[in-house]
Amino acid sequence: MTDRTIKILLAAAAAVSVFGIFGITYTKTRQSEPVSATAFKLNTVVTVTLYDSQDQDILQGALDLCDQYEKIFSRTLEGSELYRLNAGKLTEENGFYTLSKPLADLTAAGLYYGELSGGAFDISIAPVSSLWDFTSGEGTVPDSDAIKDALKRVSIQDITLDGNQLHFAQKGMELDLGALAKGYIADRIKDYLLKQGVQSAIIDLGGNVLCVGSRPDGSPFRIGLQKPFAGYSETVGSLEITGQSVVSSGIYERYFQEDGTLYHHILNPETGYPYDNGLVSVTIISEKSLDGDGLSTACFAMGLEKGMELIDRLPDIHAVFITEDGELHFSQGFEEHVAVDLKESLTLP
């Protein structure tokens, strides 16, 4: 889920958030207009915008939740709970690790989406994903022998979760929850805002977009869908969203090229290499952002046919698949349930 998937286009929104890399930037105009806060958290740009409140303490509380959950879910932050689990430093008894409720809940979600996808989405991919570098701009293809060795420790079937008790059937197994964490955190921020009395807001965790209600006048938010491999200002079109989540996964989010081949971050647990199935992106519209995160990655991994079949079986879930030929493919009933202004085809590089 990812950092450059969706660009929010809020029609008639007067509040413009300005990113401050060394801290939090608050934006506030007139009393009747939105107030927002932007900060670099979760290794991405996070923006929370309130449309029916001017309380910046609420904004701060929302951003603080990002820090709280990063200390649980981050695979790379030394000292986080997941980091310690992967390093074998959590409390262990009779081969079972005791997890906090948030980590147990997110792991359970990962196992659920893994089962739903027939294993195409696998949270035990960490030994392989740690070999790839899609963020520094200097990525190279890992050594094939290293990938083969890491694949020996990748198997969702070798994970047992009983409540908050986790067991790995093999030594050296690790979890990578990066495809799910932002969705979970967005849902928790929404819960927090609702408890604070906020009924109209946008939560954007680096492209994972979750709406709280609608605009104050009752009209839906307009969410722009970024065109793959294009700038934020170039979109496929827009969606009208009330109280729902919009999340995309695609090959254009984190990638590098080597010898004319594009390598992206969605890895196949069978081969250890990026999926090559003709898809460019999958966008999920759902009530829960966690569903959007899990399903966008799972459906991408499954491919167009199987991924679309899965979405069509799930209630209140809608999807747009974009294939390498630039065609947009919509799930059953998409246009009946989601007001859209999207192109039917694109010209992709």
Q: Name the residue ranges covered by the structural domains of the chain.
A: 1-349
| Mean of all residue pLDDT scores within the chain | 90
Residue 336 confidence (pLDDT): 79
- With cut-offs at 50, 70 and 90, classify the pLDDT of residue 165: very high
203 contacts 297 by C-beta, under 8 angstroms: no
**pLDDT tens, residue by residue, 19-65:** 333 367 776 655 568 999 999 999 999 999 999 999 999 999 999 99
Cα distance between residue 236 and residue 324, in whole Å: 14
Cα distance between residue 286 and residue 292, in whole Å: 6
- With cut-offs at 50, 70 and 90, classify the pLDDT of residue 335: confident
274 contacts 265 by C-beta, under 8 angstroms: yes
* Predicted confidence (pLDDT) at residue 4 exceeds the cutoff of 60: no
Written as six digits, the tokens of 178 are 């990066």
138 contacts 110 by C-beta, under 8 angstroms: no
**pLDDT tens, residue by residue, 300-327:** 999 999 999 999 999 999 999 999 999 9
**pLDDT tens, residue by residue, 61-111:** 999 999 999 999 999 999 999 999 999 999 999 999 999 999 999 999 999
- Buried residues in 205-232 as b, exposed as e (16+ CB within 10 A): bbbbbbbbbbbeeeebbbbbbbbbbbee
176: left (phi over 0), alpha (psi -120 to 50) or beta: beta
The 3-state secondary structure of the chain, one letter per residue = CCCCCEEECCCCCCCCCCCCCCCCEEEECCCCCCEEEEEEECCEEEEEEECCCCCHHHHHHHHHHHHHHHHHHCCCCCCCHHHHHHCCCCCEECCEEECCHHHHHHHHHHHHHHHHCCCCCCHHHHHHHCCCCCCCCCCCCCCHHHHHHHHCCCCHHHEEEECCEEEECCCCCCCCCCCCHHHHHHHHHHHHHHHCCCCCEEEEECCEEEEECCCCCCCCEEEEEECCCCCCCCEEEEEEECCCEEEEEECCCCEEEECCEEEECCECCCCCCECCCCEEEEEEEECCHHHHHHHHHHHHHHCHHHHHHHHHHCCCCEEEEEECCCEEEECCCHHHHCEEEECCECCCC
Query: What mean pLDDT is predicted for residues 331-341?
Result: 81
Cα distance between residue 167 and residue 51, in whole Å: 45
Q: Tell me the residue length of the chain.
A: 349
R_g (Cα) of the chain, nearest Å: 20
Written as six digits, the tokens of 1 are 């889920």
Right CATH number for 1-349 from 3.90.470.20, 3.90.550.10, 3.10.520.10, 2.60.40.10?
3.10.520.10
**pLDDT tens, residue by residue, 272-300:** 999 999 999 999 999 999 999 999 999 99
pTM for the model: 0.90
- Beta-bridged to residue 296, according to DSSP, are none
Q: Report the greatest alpha carbon distance in the chain.
A: 61
Residues with Cβ < 8 Å from 307, sequence gap 6 or more?
A: 279, 282, 298, 299, 300, 301, 319, 321
pLDDT over 90 percentage in the chain:
78
Cα distance between residue 255 and residue 157, in whole Å: 28
- With cut-offs at 50, 70 and 90, classify the pLDDT of residue 341: confident
* Predicted confidence (pLDDT) at residue 233 exceeds the cutoff of 50: yes
Residue 6 confidence (pLDDT): 38
Any idea which residue has 């984190």 for tokens?
254
* Predicted confidence (pLDDT) at residue 5 exceeds the cutoff of 70: no
Residue 129 confidence (pLDDT): 97
* Predicted confidence (pLDDT) at residue 245 exceeds the cutoff of 60: yes
* Predicted confidence (pLDDT) at residue 11 exceeds the cutoff of 90: no
* Predicted confidence (pLDDT) at residue 3 exceeds the cutoff of 80: no
**pLDDT tens, residue by residue, 176-228:** 999 999 999 999 999 999 999 999 999 999 889 999 999 999 999 999 888 88
